[in-house]
Structure 1
Amino acid sequence: MRVGNEKTYPDCPVIVRIVEVGGLTKSELMHKLRQQSVLMNELAERLFADDRFTTSDTTYILQTIELTVADLGFPDGATIVQIFKRANDLGLQLCPLELGPHLRLVYLDQPEGSLGHPLQTNQAPYGSITIASDILTENVDFPKGFYLRRINGVLWLRGYRADHLHVWNPDDHFIFCQSKESLNK
């Protein structure tokens, strides 16, 4: 639970990561995930299989910012539309969908987040980090994006579904992009 008067972005603590993205086909990316013993749920597999999920031939660097919904100024939670708009107003950008698997490959020491917490349904699981990315379709049955999670020591790249009315909790974590830099590889 958050206490009032906490600072919001950009005047709050955030986690910054520099991630190299691109340069791999979807099958090469899938192979690297398997090499790292990363598991995927059915929704992540559906995202991977969809033709609208593309990868870049060019390698580039993304600077990402991890923060909570409350860090964006929503102490009572917010919908994805509200979250994305506020982030945009604050100069943050949505991430390319391919960041999810690339970030999973480099963020191998993600802590367990659900230990000591009750199971939740229709909510982001404790300890999960949702990648803020463009939504491919408004179809409620199709996954909206990826999130990262560690469950019983196993790393996961998972897909999620949520409609535009879903209210994310103030302590839910999101990754946004702050900058992009091309690499000549």
Structure 2
Amino acid sequence: MLANEEYKKVYPDCPTIIRNVTIGGQTKLQLIQALQDSSILLNKYGELLLADDRLIVSSTAYRLKTVELAVSNLGIPNGGTTPEILHKATELGLHICPLELGPYLRLFYLEQPEVAADTGKTHQAPTGSVTVASEPLTEDDEFPKGFYLRKMDGKLWLRGYIADNLHIWNPDDRFIFVLSKEVDDHS
């Protein structure tokens, strides 16, 4: 957990985690098989997202440079709604992620630390989870909006989540955004 003064710092002058992730270059079935081969667990919302025809997996491989940071580091010190978070990130030059980044990032980020479960949290992002900021497939509040990554009981998870546009994310909730994209010439 960051110290209070670290939460007050706004991107890019704040603690971040930068990752370069190659995504695309395979079919959705191949991607699902790779998740199974890596013993990645899915919740029912993650399964729904992966099964949906609107989740497009690029046949061409490309690299994304991503940044992970806390909601407060977007200049939203008291937390905010998804629209507020996405708007503020855009103002800071960050981009929302393609939905397909979630599974690829889960396969890439196998060393995610496990954080003790916060048993008092309900209808909130779990402590230690990282949400992939992406455009929802539908406005339907009963359908999952995107993916988050979590390690729980020694197991890696790719989980989907449901949240309406009024849901308030906590200041210490972690999100991943895209910094830049490039075609992967090594595929």
Q: TM-score range with shorter-chain normalisation? A: over 0.9
Match of 1:168 in 2: 169
Give the CA deviation at 1:152.
Answer: 0.5
Residue 76 of structure 1 pairs with residue 86 of structure 2: no
Q: TM-score, normalised by structure 1?
A: 0.96
Alignment-mate amino acid for residue 13 of structure 1: P
Identity %: 54
Match of 1:118 in 2: 119
Give the CA deviation at 1:2.
Answer: 6.2
Give the CA deviation at 1:145.
Answer: 0.2
Unaligned runs of 5+ in 1: none
The equivalences for 1:34-183 within 5 A come to: 34-113=36-115, 115=116, 117-183=118-184
Unaligned runs of 5+ in 2: none
Alignment-mate amino acid for residue 132 of structure 2: I
Residue 14 of structure 1 pairs with residue 10 of structure 2: no
Superposition misfits of 4+ residues, deviation over 3 angstroms:
1-5
1:18 match: secondary structure: strand
Give the CA deviation at 1:13.
Answer: 1.3
2:8 match: secondary structure: coil
| Cα contact 1:2–1:75 (8 A) shared by 2 | no
2:103 match: secondary structure: helix
Aligned-residue RMSD, C-alpha: 1.4
Alignment-mate amino acid for residue 58 of structure 1: T
Answer with 115-124 or 132-141: which moved more.
115-124
Q: TM-score, normalised by structure 2?
A: 0.95
1:32 match: secondary structure: helix
Count of paired positions: 184
| Cα contact 2:65–2:180 (8 A) shared by 1 | yes
Cα shift readout 1:44-94 (whole Å, capped 9, x = no counterpart): 000011110010000000000000100001111100000000000100000
